Amino acid sequence: MKTDKHIEQLPLSKSNPKTLLELFGTANVVPMWIADMDYEIAEVIQEALIQRISNSSFGYEYKPESFILAQKTWYKSEYDVHLDSEHIIYSPSITTTIAIAIESFTKENDGVIIQPPVFMEFRDVVRKAKRKIIKNPLKLVDGHYEIDFEDLENKVKLDTNKVLILCNPHNPVGRVWKKEELERIVNICSENNVLLISDEIHKDIILFNNTFTSLLHYSNQLENLIICTSEAKTFNLASISDSMAIVPNNDLRSRLSKSFQKYNLGATNSLTRVALETAYLHGKPWLKDLLKNIQQNVNTVELELQNTNISMVKPEGTYQIWIDFRTIFKDPNEMSKFIAQNSGIALNAGHWFGREGALFMRMNIATSNKKVANAIKRIKTAIKF
């Protein structure tokens, strides 16, 4: 992990003036909304990529046994699960996997359950597939989000509702679901023959002594299970990483694999393979430093928001914070533009994640502590605290 002076320059992808103008009504903002990091990738990964590029041959690639072993070792040490390489289907992205799974295992007008406020691409994928979005909204209880299990049970009992998409850790509210919550979800899906798709992309960004449990622990209890995951968030490799669908059930995997083959998906990218294998083998020290930085940034925001009418849902995981402006604003569109134009800080409007997120905003804190502190101070000043 580099020091602050190495992470002040924002990636160009975050700074496209046209995009900022369209979203926030001004391009003169500090973008703290896109869910990647300002941090340089681990030096050991940089060096491995440079070495690979120096070998100018970029013919067809495969994942060698060294990659498979490194991946298995990481999954055992980090999540205490045995990763069977035969269960993996490689995919360009998690949303690609979810889209193909929905097309493969449902038909038009079937219901797909999501738990808003939640990652907006879940909703977009369902709509594009011409399936029905069925909401099982999370409940905010004393500053802590919970699953409405009574509502969930009622909705999975309907024959037309075929899929539940779970986000663990949850984006944007930062919950890391506990074992007892996951066990209850697994039982509900199993009893009602509902396909459970678990997005676990933030699984390594676990904060403040919370514990992540992969749904892979329940593969013997639930046949209809697809784990979608990637190390893209973990090691800041979103633009060169791929993802995995882990499908323990043979029949389910065979059917999903045929759909991937139909579209010729899953080819190995040489730089992706090198970056991930290096991350699995040598990336843990960098990740430990990352988690320390994120926790420090959470603490900074929490301290800055004391004695204001702005509150934060303290994250258990991810490098996003979910900020509550309900006591200050009444209109979500007005809120978003006011903060961007008056503080110069661009955040995700909460209603992007569903109307349940209205008057909240998501802030990316995977940057320097100085930048995080400055951003919160500017927001407070704009609102006259």
Here the tokens at position 318 are 């991810």
Strand partners, 317: 206
- At residue 48, the pLDDT reads 97
- On whether residue 217 sits in a domain, the answer given is yes
Q: What is the CATH number of the domain that holds 87?
A: 3.40.640.10
Please list, in sequence order, all residues whose beta carbon lies within 8 angstroms of the beta carbon of residue 124, skipping any fewer than 6 positions away. none
- Residue 168 has a pLDDT of 97
Q: Same domain, yes or no, for 326 and 338? A: yes
Place of tokens 């101070």: 377
Domain count, the chain: 2
Judgement on whether residues 16 and 109 belong to the same structural domain of the protein: no
**92 & 226 share domain:** yes
Please give the chain's pLDDT, 385 residues, in tens: 654 444 444 444 456 788 888 888 888 899 899 899 999 999 999 999 999 999 878 888 889 999 999 999 999 999 999 999 999 999 999 999 999 999 999 999 999 999 999 999 999 999 999 999 999 999 999 999 999 999 999 999 999 999 999 999 999 999 999 999 999 999 999 999 999 999 999 999 999 999 999 999 999 999 999 999 999 999 999 999 889 999 999 999 999 999 999 989 988 899 999 999 999 999 999 999 999 999 999 999 999 999 999 999 999 999 999 999 999 999 998 999 999 999 999 999 999 999 999 999 999 999 999 999 999 999 999 998 7
In one-letter notation, the amino acid at residue 86 is E
Instruction: Give the chain's count of helices (H) and strands (E).
Output: 12, 15
85/214 same-domain check: yes
E strand or H helix at 345: strand 345-346
- Whether residue 9 is contained in a domain is answered as yes
Which residues span the domain enclosing 263?
Answer: 58-282
Tell me if 326 sits within 8 A of 332, measured CB to CB: no
Q: What is the CATH number of the domain that holds 314?
A: 3.90.1150.10
Determine the pLDDT at residue 10: 45
Assess whether 76 and 222 both reside in one domain.
yes
Domain assignment of residue 297, yes or no: yes
Q: Please list, in sequence order, all residues whose beta carbon lies within 8 angstroms of the beta carbon of residue 126, skipping any fewer than 6 positions away.
A: 102, 112, 114, 132, 133
| Cβ pair 313, 145 in contact under 8 A | yes
Q: Classify residue 227: in a domain, yes or no.
A: yes
| 51 part of a folded domain | no
Domain's final residue, options 232, 256, 282: 282
Query: Any alpha helices (H) in 133-247, and if so which ranges?
Result: 149-156, 179-191
141 and 266 housed in the same domain: yes
Pair 342, 233 in one domain? no
Residues 73, 182, single domain; the answer is yes
Based on the fold, state whether residues 257 and 298 are members of the same structural domain: no
Among 244, 266, 282, the domain-final residue is: 282
Of 262, 282, 302, which marks where a domain is finished? 282
Asked whether residue 49 is assigned to any structural domain, the reply reads no
Q: How far does Cα 77 stand from its chain's mean position?
A: 21
Residues contacting residue 48 through CB under 8 Å, at least 6 positions apart: 274, 275, 277, 278
In this structure, are 153 and 253 located in the same domain? yes
- The answer to whether residue 53 is domain-embedded is no
Same domain, 101 and 37: no
- Residue 50 within any structural domain of the chain: no
Q: In this structure, are 9 and 62 located in the same domain?
A: no
